[in-house]
Structure 1
Amino acid sequence: MPGKLVLLRHGQSQWNLENRFTGWVDVDLTDQGRAEARAAGRLLAEEGIRFDIVFTSMLQRAIKTMWLALEELEQPWVDVVRHWRLNERHYGGLQGLDKAETAAKHGEEQVHIWRRSYDIPPPEMAADDPGHPRNDVRYRHLDARVLPGTESLALTLERVLPYWHDAIAPRLKAGETVLVTAHGNSLRALVKYLDGIADDVITGVNIPTGIPQLYTLDGELNVIESRYLGDADAAEAAAKAVADQAKSKLGNL
């Protein structure tokens, strides 16, 4: 039998709190975000889960969430692999902008399309922008052509899926229990694939911060069951809070 899979969205970040488009900008967790990460670790401990390997992104909010969760689990020794393909969706020229101010400038309908449509990306970031990934030292060994200047959720899925097939799926098929600590959109892309969610449905799916989602899979890695750990009503309320904030403040991704 394959191992089990846990998906964990990072805790609240500083730019989540400030209602800014974050994307690949490497912002830290807030105090609340750190508390959410530790709470996730306690939920995993209550479930009795022991991990064989952790996959995370190259961004500190996901990495620190992983550290804090593993500390609560008393499993700091677990092997960790960081990879850029698990980074958050790149928000292009919107990165760093206040979401409400952006809506006032471009109109709420246009910003909603950029944020929540499946295959329409925001305006692209210029290649010579200091914030472009090709100008970030951590990606210096990559071909600049693979580094995005903007992404839709569809493009994020195209980026994440090869890593799932090449790195994560083989460990699950070998019977290992795997934790993936990443971001709202890189995880939404993976959930879309795992659960076979339609393009027009995934746009309404919201993943709460700091609540582990446990997948039980068959030998072909088809989903047998998935559930959020802890109180189901609390997880539903946390996901609804993300959706409600998206309606009132254009989201908190």
Structure 2
Amino acid sequence: MAAAAAALHQAIGSFRYSNSALNQDNGIASYRSISKGVNRDFPLSKGRTGRSRKTNLTVTQASDFQTAVLSPSNGKAVESKKKSNEAALILIRHGESLWNEKNLFTGCVDVPLTKKGVEEAVQAGKKISNIPIDVIYTSSLIRAQMTAMLAMTQHRRQKVPIIVHTENEQASTWSRIFSEETKKQCIPVITAWQLNERMYGELQGLNKQETAERYGKEQVHEWRRSYDIPPPSGESLEMCAERAVAYFKQSIVPQLESGKNVLIAAHGNSLRSIIMYLDNLTSQEVISLELSTGVPMLYIVKDGSFIRRGSPVAPEEPGVYAYTKSLAHYRQKLDDKVQS
């Protein structure tokens, strides 16, 4: 594959603090967060496909990315025997839902995507179509699951995402796959209520504008944007973070440490909670963090560190995926398969 100049773009509105600046010094692009006197740089490698400049990431081969399969005994993701010291983590907030469109508080009400939300999920899938994915985690809500499934229809490997059912012995038995070859062409999808959106309590189903008129804009803003103040009978962001981060650390981090590449499709507040943990944000920084619907964010995981790479741009931009040589090798393998 001919080398192409890298195109590193931060999707506007996809990952924004109250103040930010894109810096380019000595061939390195970085996203700078400036909030409450805190200044952080997140390095982005810049160079040609297959080449990595000024990066501390260890090079691994595409063969190190082992595909997770469904265990015939319990339906859970099987740990790969071959471990990689590098993995990819992709976070996607679900596409627009029918209640987003109607300006209603949704929370944990299980509402599907709009036509626009479907299109957003498909576009997100195109942006990550060259990034290896071994296991998918979603919330238990349909809008997150639809986003993950629609995104995977665009992936170049064309592996089939299959929801893992372990709620009881019968569910595990009945969803068993008997073909080893078929298992290799599947990606397990694990659903978890801990990744659900923040529960908005008595606000769920109410119109946001009408609620602001009834209780006052300041009160509603405090319920929506404060860190530790919950809406009536609902969860604060702090409470949402407790369950989401605990699940991430217990169930997802081990997959990443084993070299698995993970996609998480979830919600604005559960993902903000995880990003707060990954980027070591303060409670003040996280409340100013905005995540756009249907825009993927890529992290590289290495030696216990999470290095944010921003949002991939599009599959026709090869350089975007050359954040590390292992991702470049993976894309090269996909290109070679198409040409053969």
TM-score, normalised via structure 1 length: 0.79
Corresponding residue number in structure 1 for 2:229: 120
The counterpart of 2:142, out of the listed 34, 40, 60, is 60
SS in 2 for 1:21: coil
Indicate yes or no: 2:122 matched with 1:38. Answer: yes
Corresponding residue number in structure 2 for 1:93: 202
CA distance in 2, matches of 1:113, 1:4: 35
Deviation at 1:157, TM superposition (A): 0.5
User: Are the equivalent residues in 1 in contact too, given 2:121–2:150 (CA < 8 A)?
Assistant: yes
CA distance in 2, matches of 1:224, 1:161: 17
SS in 2 for 1:72: coil
Deviation at 1:228, TM superposition (A): 1.2
Deviation at 1:165, TM superposition (A): 1.4
Corresponding letter in the other structure for 1:197: L
Indicate yes or no: 2:135 matched with 1:26. Answer: no
- Gaps of at least 5 residues in structure 1 are 125-149, 232-253
Q: Greater share of helix residues, 1 or 2? A: 1
Corresponding residue number in structure 2 for 1:168: 252
Q: Greater share of strand residues, 1 or 2? A: 2
Indicate yes or no: 2:95 matched with 1:11. Answer: yes
SS in 1 for 2:113: coil
TM-score, normalised via structure 2 length: 0.59
Corresponding letter in the other structure for 1:187: L
CA distance in 1, matches of 2:308, 2:202: 38
CA distance in 2, matches of 1:57, 1:225: 22
Deviation at 1:161, TM superposition (A): 1.4
Deviation at 1:224, TM superposition (A): 2.5
Corresponding letter in the other structure for 1:61: R
CA distance in 2, matches of 1:196, 1:108: 30
Deviation at 1:151, TM superposition (A): 0.6
Give the aligned length. 203
SS in 1 for 2:136: strand
CA distance in 1, matches of 2:159, 2:91: 17
Question: Quick one: percent identity of the two aligned structures?
Answer: 45
> Cα deviation per residue 1:71-91 (whole Å; 9 max; x = unaligned)?
111232211100100000000
Corresponding letter in the other structure for 1:106: Y
Corresponding residue number in structure 2 for 1:250: none
- Gaps of at least 5 residues in structure 2 are 1-84, 161-185, 315-340
Deviation at 1:223, TM superposition (A): 2.2
The counterpart of 1:104, out of the listed 213, 217, 223, is 213
Larger radius of gyration: 2
Q: CA RMSD in A?
A: 1.0
> Cα deviation per residue 1:40-92 (whole Å; 9 max; x = unaligned)?
111111xx212110000100000000110011112322111001000000001
